Amino acid sequence: AAAAAAEECERRRRTEDEERCAATAIQAGFRGMQARKDTRELRAQQAAEREDGARQQREAEAAAAEAAAMAVAAAAAEAEQSRRTTAACTVQRSFRGYKGRQQAKALR
C-alpha cells in the first residue's frame, strides 16, 4: 500500500510538472504573439507619423512655392504698370510738344 501511495504521488507530481510546462509554453506563445502584434502596431503608427510629417513638409513647400509665384506675379504686374505709365507719359509729352509747336507756328 505504501508503494502504491508513493507511486501515485510520483504520478501526480509528473502530471503537475507536465501541466506547469504546458501552461508555461502556452503563456510564452501568447506573450510572443502579443509582442509581435504590439510591434506591428507600433511600426504602423511610426510609419503614419512619418507620412504625416512628410505630408506637412510637402504642404509647407507647396505654400512657399505658391507665395514665391505670387510675389513673382506681383512684381511682373508692377513692372507692367510702370511700363504703361512711362509709355503714357511719353505719349502725353510728345502730344504737348506737338501742340506747342503748332501754337508757336500759328503765332509767327
Taking the C-alpha atoms of residue 55 and residue 70, their distance in angstroms, rounded to an integer, is 22
Q: Is the pLDDT of residue 58 over 90?
A: yes
Taking the C-alpha atoms of residue 82 and residue 87, their distance in angstroms, rounded to an integer, is 9
What is the model's pLDDT at position 75? 97
What is the model's pLDDT at position 95? 97
Taking the C-alpha atoms of residue 79 and residue 83, their distance in angstroms, rounded to an integer, is 6
Average pLDDT over residues 65-93: 96
| Cα separation of the two ends of the chain | 159
What is the model's pLDDT at position 29? 95
